[in-house]
Homo-oligomer: A and B are copies of this chain.
Amino acid sequence: MKKETQEKGWIRRIPLHIAPPSLKDNTADVDRLAKAIKRATDIRDVAIDFFFAKKIPSLLREYKYRVQAVVYEGSLSWHLAGLYPLDGDHSIYGIAADLGTSTIALRLIDLTTGEVKDETTFLNPQIEMGQDILTRIHFASQDGGLQMLQAVLIDRLNKEIGRVTERHGMEPDSLVGICAAGNTTMSHLFLGLDPYWICREPYIPSINRFDVIFAARLGLSIHPYAPVLVMPNVGSYFGGDLIAGILASGMTRRAETSFLVDVGTNAEVVIGNRDWLVGCAGAAGPALEGGVTRMGMMAGPGAINKVLLDPDSGRLHLETIGRKPPMGICGSGLIDLVAQLFLAGMIDFRGEYVESRCGSRLREIDGIKHFIVVPSQDSATGNELTLSQKEIDSVIRSKAAMYTILSTITQMTNVSVKEISQFYIAGTFGAYMDARSAIDIGMIPDLSLDIYKPLGNSSLAGATMALLSRAAKEEIYNIRDRVTYVELNVNQEFMTLFGAAKCIPHTDRSLFPSVKEWNLG
């Protein structure tokens, strides 16, 4: 197992017994090391950064020419990433990182066994400089802004990496690789690249395919010559996080066609199989990412993420993340809630509250109907949590946008929805989303429930795969090059489809045969 992982890796540890120099073999130290690596492996040429090379003669002597060399395959050649004495434990580790706009997740991985040693998540410190991507791009264009955005991120990463390595009694020098996935803007900010043109027509990044560079060049406190691999982008709206997700889903290794959806303010959608891949991104509105005005929140402790309405008593059963008193509702909870309200006839097919059904739970505030989800005495905030008519409308717009994007892309690729073998839903949203509810409100096609697969943090999963495997790393670039990115033209036809999708579950009821309202008389 150990050996296998090593051979499959693009970061490799090579034990070397190097013949010390003699009058008969006076090959120079650095050349001697390069030669020894060549002899021990199938690596033809190993590049050694010039400043690292300067240290090699004394290191070789200190280790008495018995060393472990760590090498990695970069963009164009193999490179030296580290040099350790042969004796003693010198395990090598790496970090897989998901650089989310809001949340960052790091995973510490043993590169020889593939074992996950630790995992940690924390808020992106850039939030202080801008909640969303657009604000950060604006911030970056101010004097010193880009540098600051990069610095707070690198600084925080260093702190977290330091904490994790300390917890495991590791030397930071034993970390010899990082693989990071993020959306296009996050990748730019991580690398200190100007994101200015990402949000301006014709929306192009500085770089799509990033060079593998070494850690010291970013100021990362791991082995200075450790490689930093950042997942490539397809374009401004199709980033490395999604490519990592595609990799993690395995959809490009199967003959059958799959869907992959990452839902946020933008819905990113990929359809394809081992032969072709089409991706698009479209505005889904903030509703599904906890963005409804009053009670919406990101998935996190205290967020209502599951809702069940008892058909008999009419009572709501709520589940919160971490079983904490409810503070608000996240996207998956909202979908459940709207679905249950619809099935119970408490909202009609247009999403409008049916007063006769809602009874006392409905109240008018400032002339707008509100449904009381959590009375004030039960909520964590002390205020009642309500869902207004406006918020339902917002959910309906989001679900309609989602369904329209899916319809449009299947039409464009000439795929019948019935052909879809797997429907992956990425992220926290995917982990909590109830497919039954999402079908009930007509957000996703009415397919067999077992087709819907939550992917979890697929960005982190893909980064982990790419960190460990040479084949996976290559696949990342293959995926990137193969994705056909289509612009969703919001034209008349799109708007017609969108209009039809604004009913619950849909104007064309025959598309959702499995949706059954409760027969409550």
Contacts and interface: CB of A to CB of B under 8 A. Distances in A.
Interface of A: 21-23, 26-32, 45, 47-48, 50-51, 53-54, 56-58, 75-77, 191-194, 196-197, 201-209, 211, 213, 217, 233, 235-236, 487
Given A28-B207, A29-B206, 20 more contacts: A22-B202, A23-B202, A23-B203, A26-B203, A28-B206, A29-B197, A29-B204, A29-B205, A29-B207, A31-B208, A32-B204, A45-B76, A47-B211, A48-B211, A53-B206, A53-B207, A54-B192, A57-B194, A57-B197, A58-B194
Contacts of A32: 204
Contacts of A217: 50-51
A233 B28 CA distance: 9
Given A57-B197, A206-B56, A211 B50 contact: yes
A157 to B, nearest CB: 17
A25 to B, nearest CB: 8
A53 B211 contact: yes
A201 B25 CA distance: 11
Name, among A31, A50, A51, A203, the residue most crowded by chain B CB atoms within 10 Å (CB to CB). Answer: A50
Given A31-B208, A57-B194, A194-B58, A202 B26 contact: yes
Contacts of A29: 197, 204-207
Contacts of A205: 28-29
Main secondary structure of the interface of A (DSSP, over half): loop
A141 to B, nearest CB: 12
Contacts of A22: 202
Contacts of A53: 193, 206-207, 211
A257 to B, nearest CB: 26
A212 B487 CA distance: 43
A58 to B, nearest CB: 7
Given A48-B211, A76-B76, A77-B77, A54 B235 contact: no
A263 B287 CA distance: 83
Contacts of A192: 54
Given A47-B76, A192-B54, A26 B204 contact: yes
Nearest to A46: B76
Nearest to A213: B50
A204 B77 contact: no
A193 B30 CA distance: 11
12 contacts: A23-B202, A26-B235, A27-B204, A29-B206, A32-B204, A50-B211, A50-B217, A53-B193, A53-B207, A54-B192, A57-B194, A57-B196
Contacts of A57: 194, 196-197, 206
A204 B28 contact: yes
A208 B30 CA distance: 8
A47 to B, nearest CB: 6
A394 to B, nearest CB: 29
B202 A27 contact: no
Name, among A31, A47, A213, the residue most crowded by chain B CB atoms within 10 Å (CB to CB). Answer: A31
Contacts of A27: 204, 208
A136 B203 CA distance: 56
A206 B30 contact: yes
A191 to B, nearest CB: 8
Contacts of A45: 75-76
Nearest to A56: B206
A209 B211 CA distance: 25
A209 B30 CA distance: 9
Nearest to A237: B26
Given A23-B202, A194-B57, A208 B76 contact: no
B207 A23 contact: no
Contacts of A487: 23
Contacts of A50: 191, 211, 213, 217
A285 B302 CA distance: 87
Contacts of A235: 26, 28
Contact of A201 (B23, B48, B77, B191): B23
B204 A21 contact: yes
